[in-house]
Chains A and B, each alone.
Chain A
């Protein structure tokens, strides 16, 4: 569990160790099983991240490895976060300590939920991610830094990887405008004009 504050303001870089969760199509039921959604706040979710996968083989899950404790980056493969739209999944990851995710691809709702929390989801090529995962398997305590400006992931041993972050989310994170609420509220007059013009809101 982390004492790092939750993301706030402009997000320019994320530093720290990484935890690798390998495999394609890891769904949000895996990240946070549905029984933990019986709550009216997100506060208690940190301990429950990957609960069933971790209980299946006690002590063996990547999130239970000594080197993973305090990690701030998560490295995954393809279509991570598919399935249920539950924001409880990125909330649980964030409360555990994750501040950025690097993977081959992400499910869209999960990606948007992460962005709304100030957590960038970077992509890299298949070979790039496999190479990064191999480097972390060889040295699980490798210190890493992902930079949203240069779109590079640099390791303390000199290795580096190129990352991709969609231009829109990148700009939102860099400027600190990743929490869309204030931006959305700024266009009240345009919204009112649209409401006055939409046929189904005006008796067709």
Chain B
């Protein structure tokens, strides 16, 4: 076991107050419940309880199905929406981009042909796939969830085992409602203490990735646990699990608890009536038990985490907003080539404070940080202030439901008054498959999840990842700024 600085400490026992927990990790229990068969070569056939599809990674899977003369085995266990390619200005059909229109039309035709529910534009339920499934109560504890999108790890926030897959595997799930998978090891990320005001789940996960590296989680599922995790809302837990993949962990999860159940209750696809009580009892039994054995464990203290900003070209190249960009000497020898590549690409100087770095574009949204509480946190910063001259700042709600809830609170008017644009829901500039993208060498403050070279649509564009509140602060100041200085009297409403 290591702490955040790599120091070994005695192992802590899991201390959840859940009554009916049995031994083993949640990961082990959910895996065992879903294992259909042992396959030759040692991998397992894993039943997929919830399959989510979207327009980008499914068309070739449906085509593959047709090539093999197969049908969809459990169309009722697959749910579709459209998110990656949708414009966020006008969503009128047909889209201006004929390729985007073709992708949506193909998804519509495939869903109609195979009897799959599609939550399309204007349905009131459309949005980023990892926002809408939890919102509809489709994502539940103890499920296996797969989707042709690496950020499927988001759904682990509910105590589901959720992971991204490729298109051949999407075809396999459509055909067989199952996958060939190898079992992962489990690393517990134990977080003591409490996040400071102005420090969010995004900062926590960027801090974890900064510490353990972008390949530290390869071969592992991350179980996030400890007092700081138990105190997180469901939306914060989703932010955390969403970025497990950025740390190399294909799935991340939080054990289900009362916060999980309170969030789920009453959602359209959540169990109701007598089934609700049975469901809660079953879900509770799945949490990692007191005798659970973890393959590894790392400890952090939430109180030590500052608002965190990336300065480089991987999500692991992050620092506290009060820190300077690490010099080569301060960088582990293994990481130095990547640091040099990042200095050059980002045109940022080692040793220079990250605060004060000018930005051009500010993006609030994505499956990481496009939920109502994210918009509320950004709005608390933007309220009564103005976006700095020359800065393009825009807010993209994660779903139609998020947009409606935010508009009901007046957040759209608040953002517009402050000089932000208020857009229609979608993935938008997280990956820039729609018209929202950086131009040339522009640098963005972004609440999304990846700062890879070219990620936001310009081959030379640059991305600084941070929390939505920090993006709002950057928009106001026109440069990277410590949001804590803008929130002197803010109550801990986000905790």
A: residues with CB less than 8 A from B are 23-25, 27, 29-30, 33-35, 37-42, 52-53, 55-56, 78-79, 82-88, 90, 105, 107-109, 112-113, 116-117, 166-172, 175, 177, 179-181, 183-185, 187-188, 190-191, 194-195, 198-201, 203-204
Known A40-B106, A79-B248, A194-B36: A52·B180 in contact at CB below 8 Å: no
Question: Of A177, A179, A191, A203, which is within 8 A of B176 by CB?
Answer: A191
Q: Is B459 an interface residue (CB 8 A)?
A: yes
- CB-nearest residue of chain B relative to A170? B41
B25 within 8 A of A: no
Among A53, A112, A171, residue most surrounded by chain B Cβ atoms (within 10 Å): A112
Q: Is the CB of B100 within 8 A of A38?
A: yes
Does any Cβ of A come within 8 Å of B68's Cβ? yes
Q: Bound state CA distance, A201 and B177, in angstroms? A: 13
Mark interface residues in B384-426 (1 if CB within 8 Å of A CB, else 0).
Answer: 0000000000000000000000000000000000000000000
- Distance of A104 Cα from B87 Cα, bound (Å): 39
Q: Are B169 and A112 in contact (CB under 8 A)?
A: yes
> How far does the alpha carbon of A105 sit from the alpha carbon of B215 in the complex, in Å?
9
Task: Please tell me which one of the listed residues B143, B182, B279, B459 contacts residue A56 in the complex, with CB atoms under 8 A apart.
Answer: B459
Contacts of B85 in A (CB 8 A): 38
Q: Which residues of B sit under 8 angstroms from A195, Cβ to Cβ?
A: 47, 74, 177
Find out whether the CB atom of A40 lies under 8 angstroms from the CB atom of B41. Answer: no
Which residues of chain B (176-200) have a CB below 8 Å from chain A?
176-180, 182
Residue of chain B at shortest CB distance from A199? B282
Tell me the nearest residue of chain A to B68, going by C-beta.
A181
Can you spell out 19 A-B residue pairs with CB atoms less than 8 angstroms apart?
Answer: A29-B431, A30-B453, A40-B59, A52-B454, A78-B215, A83-B245, A84-B149, A84-B150, A85-B57, A85-B148, A107-B218, A109-B163, A175-B41, A180-B172, A181-B171, A183-B40, A183-B180, A198-B47, A200-B143
| Count of B interface residues, CB-CB < 8 Å | 82
A34 touches B457 (CB 8 A): yes
Indicate which residue in B57, B218, B450, B454 contacts A33 across the interface (CB closer than 8 Å). B454
CA distance A88 to B168 in the complex (A): 10
- Known contacts A35-B433, A40-B63, A203-B275; 13 further A-B pairs (Cβ under 8 A): A25-B314, A27-B452, A37-B433, A41-B60, A52-B453, A166-B182, A168-B39, A180-B179, A181-B175, A184-B45, A187-B36, A204-B279, A204-B282
Q: Assess whether B453 is in contact with A87, with CB atoms less than 8 Å apart.
A: no
Given contacts A86-B57, A187-B45, A191-B176, contact A40 B103 (CB under 8 A): yes
B126 within 8 A of A: no
Which of B100, B178, B334, B432 is A184 in contact with, Cβ under 8 Å?
B178
Contacts of A113 in B (CB 8 A): 166-169
Contact of A39 among B99, B164, B165, B179 (CB under 8 A): B99
Nearest opposing residue in chain B for A38, CB measure: B99
Name the 7 nearest CB pairs between A and B, nearest first.
Answer: A87-B166, A116-B168, A113-B166, A168-B41, A171-B41, A85-B164, A204-B278
Find residues 253-288 in chain B having any chain A CB closer than 8 Å to their own CB.
Answer: 271, 275, 278-279, 282
Query: Is the pair A82, B214 in contact by a Cβ cutoff of 8 Å?
Result: yes
CB distance from B441 to the nearest CB of A (A): 13
Contact indicator A29/B57 (Cβ below 8 Å): no
Give chain B nearest CB distance to A164 CB in angstroms. Answer: 14
Chain A CB count within 10 A is highest, among B169, B182, B219, B316, for: B169
Q: Does B455 contact A (CB under 8 A)?
A: yes
CA distance A78 to B338 in the complex (A): 11
B178 in complex: contacting residue of A29, A55, A86, A191, CB < 8 Å: A191
What residues of chain A lie closer than 8 Å to B47, measured between beta carbons?
191, 194-195, 198
Task: Give 1 or 0 for each of B143-171: 1 = CB within 8 Å of chain A CB.
Answer: 10000111010000000000111111101
Are A191 and B57 in contact, CB atoms less than 8 angstroms apart?
A: no
Interchain CA distance A194-B141 in the complex, whole Å: 17
B337 at interface, CB cutoff 8 A = yes
Residues of A within 8 A of B182 (CB): 166, 168
B180 touches A25 (CB 8 A): no
Q: How far is the CB of B344 from chain A (nearest CB, A)?
A: 11
- List residues 200-259 of chain B with CB under 8 A from any CB of chain A: 214-215, 218-219, 245-246, 248, 250
CB neighbours of B178 from chain A (8 A):
184, 187, 191
Residue pair B36, A167 in contact (C-beta under 8 Å): no
Residues of B close to A201: CB separation below 8 A: 49
Given A40-B103, A85-B165, residue A184 in contact with residue B180 (CB < 8 A)? yes
Contact B102 A87 (CB under 8 A): no
Is A200 touching B176 in the complex (CB atoms < 8 A)? no
B175 CB, nearest partner CB in chain A, Å: 6
Contacts of A177 in B (CB 8 A): 40-41
| Alpha-carbon distance between A170 and B433 when the two chains are bound, in angstroms | 36
Q: Which residues of A contact B99 (CB under 8 A)?
A: 38-39
CB–CB B219/A40 < 8 A: no
| Residue B142 CB within 8 A of the other chain | yes
Most buried by A among B42, B63, B279: B42
Chain A: minimal CB distance from B46 (Å): 10
- A105 to B248: give the CA distance in the assembly, Å: 11
Given A40-B60, A83-B150, A85-B149: A190 in contact with B37 (beta carbons within 8 A) = yes
Asked if A79 contacts B43 (CB within 8 A), the reply is no
A38-B433, A191-B47 known; A172 vs B40 contact (CB < 8 Å): yes
Q: How far is the CA of A38 from the CA of B433 in the complex (A)?
A: 8
Residues on the B chain within 8 Å of A88, using CB: 167
CA distance A41 to B102 in the complex (A): 12
The answer to whether A29 touches B36 (Cβ under 8 A) is no
Chain B neighbourhood of A107, CB < 8 A? 215, 218, 248
Is B33 part of the contact surface with A, judged by Cβ < 8 Å? yes
A41 CA / B176 CA spacing, docked (Å): 22
- Contact, CB under 8 Å: B180 / A42: no
Distance of A38 Cα from B435 Cα, bound (Å): 12
B34 adjacent to chain A (CB < 8 Å): yes
The residue of chain A having its C-beta at the shortest distance from the C-beta of B437 within the complex is: A35
Report if B140 contacts A (CB, 8 A).
yes
In the bound complex, how far is the Cα of B37 from the Cα of A179, in angstroms? 16
> How close is A46's CB to chain B, nearest CB, in angstroms?
15
**What's the least CB distance linking A143 to chain B, in Å?**
29
Give the contacting residue for A82; candidates B45, B74, B215; CB below 8 A.
B215
**Closest chain A CB from B83 CB (angstroms):** 13
Q: Does B322 contact A (CB under 8 A)?
A: no
